[in-house]
C-alpha cells in the first residue's frame, strides 16, 4: 500500500507495511516492477516495510515529466509570492505530522526519538519557514546602473536532489524547498535505507496541488541515482553524501556542464584552548561528536587538546562518553541508538581496530558489542588518546561514535592541525577569551565554525571547503544555488 500509515505500525515488533506505488510526476502510480526495498529496523533487525523501486524507464519518465513541466512554465511563471505561500502550506501540513515523521525516522534509521522529534522532523518545519522568509527578501530582480539595467534571477531548470540516510528530511528539504521557491522542477531520489519518511513527504507535496510533473520522489539505490545524474535533461544535481560519491557526481556534471552542489564529508576539529571550561567542552561534544551515534558529517571527531592539559581533556571527554546510554532509540532516556546497518557498524568497528593497530590508546569504548545488546547494530562510544594527526583514524571520516584526542603545542599549532585535513566542513573553538577565539576561528579553513557551541542556523549558509563539498545550503545562499542570474540591458549605459 501507499498512503498514510500510523507510527504504531512501524514500532518495534509490529508488522510489515507494504508500499507498492511511486510518486512520479506529481501522481501516485503503480510500480511496474516487483522489485522492493526492504526496510530493516537497525534496533530490532526486523523488516518493517517494503517499498516499490522505480525502473530505469520510470526514472527517465520522472525527468521527462519534470522537463515538460518546466518548459510549460506554469510553476516557474507562478508569482514568487504564490510559490512562497505554497511552501508555507507545506510547513503547516508538515508540522501536523511531526510526531509521525519522528517515529518513522527512528524506526528506519535508528536515531533516538528525542533527536528525531526535535531536530530531524521538528527542525524541518523551521527549515521550510526559514527558506520562505529568505525568499521574501531575496533580490529576484535587482536594479543596476541607475535603472538602465537589471539582474533577473531566473529558475535554474530541472533539479535532481539526492539526500542521504543520516538526516534524510532536512537534507532533502534543503534542496527541494529552495528549488521550488526558485521555480524549478525537482526529481528526488531518497536513500534506500530511509525511504519511509520520503513517502510521507510525497503525500504532503501531493496535497499542495503543484502543476503535474513538478515533483517526483523515487526512493532507490545507486544505479537509479547514477542514471538521474547523467540524464541529459537534468540541469542541476544537488547531492549530500560521501566524498567518494560526490567526486563521481562532480565528474559527470563537469563532463556535461551541469550545475552541481555537493555537501560531503567532514573530519572537523574541536579546538580546546588552555583556558577552556572542560565541563562545557564535554557537554558540547556530547552533541557535536556523538549525535546520531556519530553518523553526522559535521561531527567534531578530532578534539585538539593543549599538551599542558591533555590528560584533563582526555578524562573529561572519556567521562562524558562513559556516561552515555546506548540502547532502544524509542526510549527517551537513550543517548545513542544503533548504527544504520550491520555493514556500516562493521565498517566503524574496523576503524576502532585500525586505531589500536596504529598505536592509539582506547580510553573508553572499543569494538565489542555493548553488554546485553544481542540484537540491533549497536556500538559503544569510543574515545582514543595518544592520537597523531597523521593516523588514518584522525584523517578519514569514520561516521560513527569514535572520537580522537590529539595534542598540540600552542594556538598556532592547533590551527595548523585543524587545517591539516582533506576536509573543511565544521569546527569549534572552546575558550573563555573572546579575542583569542576570534583569532583562532578566523584562521581555521572551514565552511562553518562556532565558539563554545556549534548550532547551525537555517538563515546561514551550510557547507564546506576542500573535500567537504561545493556550494552552500540554507539562507540566501541556498536560494542562489537554484537560480541563474540574467543581465537585462534596458538601455545603453551612460
Active site residues: 263, 297
3-state secondary structure the chain: CCCCCCHHHHCCCCCCEEECEEEECCEEEECCCCCEEEEECCCCCCEEEEEECCCHHHHHHHHHHHHHHHHHCCCCCCCHHHHHHHHHHHHHHHHCCHHHHHHHHHHHHCCCHHHHHHHHHHHHHHHHHHHHHHHHHCCCEEEEHHHCEEEEEEECCEEEEECCCCCHHHHHHHHHHHHHHHCCEEEECCCCCCCHHHHHHHHHHHCCCCCCCCEEECCCCHHHHHHHHHCCCCCEEEEECCHHHHHHHHHHHHHHCCEEEEECCCCCEEEECCCCCHHHHHHHHHHHHHHHHHCCCCCCCEEEEEHHHHHHHHHHHHHHHHCCCECCCCCCCCCECCCCCHHHHHHHHHHHHHHHHHCCEEEECCCCCCCCCCCCCCCCCEEEECCCCCCHHHHCCCCCCEEEEEEECCHHHHHHHHHCCCEECCEEEECCCHHHHHHHHHHCCCCCCEECCCCCCCCCCECCEECCEECCECHHHHHHCCEEEEEEECCCCC
Amino acid at each position: 500500500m501507499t498512503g498514510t500509515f500510523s507510527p504504531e505500525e512501524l514500532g518495534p515488533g509490529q508488522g510489515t507495511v507494504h508500499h507498492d506505488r511511486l510518486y512520479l510526476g506529481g501522481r501516485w502510480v503503480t510500480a511496474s516492477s516487483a522489485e522492493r526495498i526492504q526496510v530493516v529496523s537497525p534496533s530490532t533487525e526486523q523488516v518493517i516495510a517494503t517499498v516499490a523501486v522505480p525502473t530505469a524507464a520510470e526514472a527517465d519518465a520522472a525527468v521527462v515529466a519534470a522537463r515538460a513541466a518546466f518548459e510549460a512554465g506554469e510553476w516557474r511563471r507562478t508569482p514568487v509570492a504564490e510559490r512562497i505561500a505554497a511552501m508555507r502550506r507545506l510547513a503547516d501540513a508538515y508540522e501536523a505530522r511531526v510526531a509521525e515523521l519522528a517515529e518513522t525516522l527512528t524506526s528506519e534509521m535508528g536515531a533516538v526519538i528525542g533527536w528525531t522529534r526535535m531536530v530531524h522532523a521538528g527542525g524541518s518545519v523551521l527549515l521550510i519557514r526559514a527558506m520562505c522568509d529568505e525568499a521574501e527578501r531575496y533580490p529576484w530582480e535587482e536594479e543596476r546602473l541607475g535603472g538602465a539595467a537589471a539582474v533577473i534571477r531566473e529558475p535554474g531548470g530541472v533539479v535532481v536532489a539526492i539526500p542521504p540516510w543520516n538526516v534524510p528530511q532536512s537534507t532533502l528539504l534543503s534542496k527541494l524547498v529552495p528549488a521550488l521557491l526558485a521555480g524549478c522542477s525537482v526529481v528526488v531520489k531518497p536513500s534506500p535505507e530511509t525511504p519511509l519518511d520520503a513517502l510521507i513527504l510525497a503525500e504532503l507535496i501531493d496535497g499542495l496541488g503543484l502543476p503535474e510533473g513538478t515533483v517526483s520522489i523515487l526512493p532507490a539505490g545507486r544505479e537509479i541515482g547514477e542514471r538521474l545524474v547523467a540524464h541529459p535533461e537534468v540541469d542541476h544535481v544537488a547531492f549530500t553524501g560521501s566524498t567518494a560519491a560526490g567526486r563521481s557526481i562532480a565528474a559527470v556534471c563537469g563532463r556535461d556542464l551541469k550545475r552541481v552542489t555537493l555537501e560531503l564529508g567532514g573530519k572537523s576539529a574541536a579546538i580546546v584552548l588552555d583556558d577552556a571550561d572542560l565541563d562545557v567542552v564535554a557537554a558540547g561534544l556530547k552533541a557535536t561528536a556523538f549525535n546520531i551515534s556519530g553518523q553526522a558529517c559535521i561531527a567534531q571527531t578530532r578534539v585538539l587538546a593543549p599538551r599542558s592539559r591533555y590528560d584533563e581533556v582526555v578524562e573529561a571527554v572519556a567521562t562524558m562518553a562513559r556516561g552515555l546510554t546506548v540502547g532502544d532509540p524509542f526510549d527517551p532516556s537513550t543517548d545513542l541508538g544503533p548504527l544504520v546497518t550491520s555493514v556500516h557498524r562493521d565498517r566503524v568497528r574496523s576503524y576502532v581496530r585500525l586505531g589500536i593497530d596504529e598505536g592509539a590508546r582506547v580510553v573508553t569504548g572499543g569494538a565489542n558489542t555493548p553488554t546485553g545488546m544481542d540484537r540491533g547494530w549497536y556500538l559503544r562510544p569510543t574515545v582514543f588518546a595518544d592520537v597523531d594527526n597523521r593516523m588514518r583514524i584522525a584523517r578519514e571520516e569514520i561516521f560513527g561514535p569514535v572520537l580522537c584526542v590529539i595534542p598540540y603545542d600552542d594556538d598556532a599549532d592547533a590551527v595548523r592541525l585543524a587545517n591539516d585535513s582533506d576536509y573543511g566542513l565544521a569546527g569549534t573553538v572552546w575558550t573563555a577569551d573572546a579575542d583569542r577565539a576570534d583569532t583562532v576561528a578566523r584562521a581555521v579553513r572551514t565552511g562553518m565554525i562556532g565558539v563554545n557551541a556549534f548550532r547551525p542556523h537555517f538563515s546561514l549558509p551550510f557547507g564546506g571547503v576542500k573535500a567537504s563539498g561545493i556550494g552552500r545550503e540554507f539562507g540566501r545562499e541556498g536560494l542562489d544555488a537554484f537560480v541563474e542570474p540574467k543581465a537585462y540591458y534596458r538601455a545603453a549605459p551612460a
